[in-house]
Amino acid sequence: MKMALSINVAQAIVLLVAATLLGVSQAKTVVVGGDEKWRSGFNYTEWAFQNNPLYINDKLVFKYEPPSASSSAVDVYWMPDLYSYMTCDFSRAKLLADATKGSDEGFTVALDQWRPYYFACGQSDGLDCKHGMKFFAVPWPRWFK
C-alpha cells in the first residue's frame, strides 16, 4: 500500500514536469496596446514592459483602422535586429501586415520561437517608429514559468 502511494506521487511529479516542459498551460492572446490598439502617437515601450512576460505560443493581435479621412495609415513591420529596431531603419525590415490588415479581428502573430521579435510601424518615413510606435517581445519557454 505504501509502495503504491509513492509510485503515484512519483508519477504525478513526472506528469507535472512533462506538462510544464510541453507547455500544456494555456497560451494567451494579447491585443497590442490594449484599449489604445495599434496607433501612431502612442509609445509602446511602457506597454510592452507591462505585458511581460510572454511565453512561446502566446499570440499578439494588432488592431487598427484602415486608412480613412479620420485615421492615417499604420502597418506592422518586423525589424531584423536590435540595431534596426533602435534606429528605425526599415531597409531590411519585413512587412508583416499592410495598412488594411488590422481591421475587425486584427492581424495575429504567433510568438512560436524563443527569440526576440522586433515590431514597428513603417509609415510616415519611419517617424511613427521614431515617436515610439515600436516594441519588442521575447517569448520565454514555459519551463521558466
Establish if 112 lies at the interface with ligand NAG (CB under 6 A). Answer: no
Cβ(111)–Cβ(59) below 8 Å? yes
CB of 48 to ligand NAG, least distance (A): 10
Establish if 81 lies at the interface with ligand NAG (CB under 6 A). Answer: no
CB of 132 to ligand NAG, least distance (A): 4
Site string for ligand NAG, 38-77 (x = CB under 6 A): -----x-xx-------------------------------
Binding site for ligand NAG (CB under 6 A): 43, 45-46, 131-132
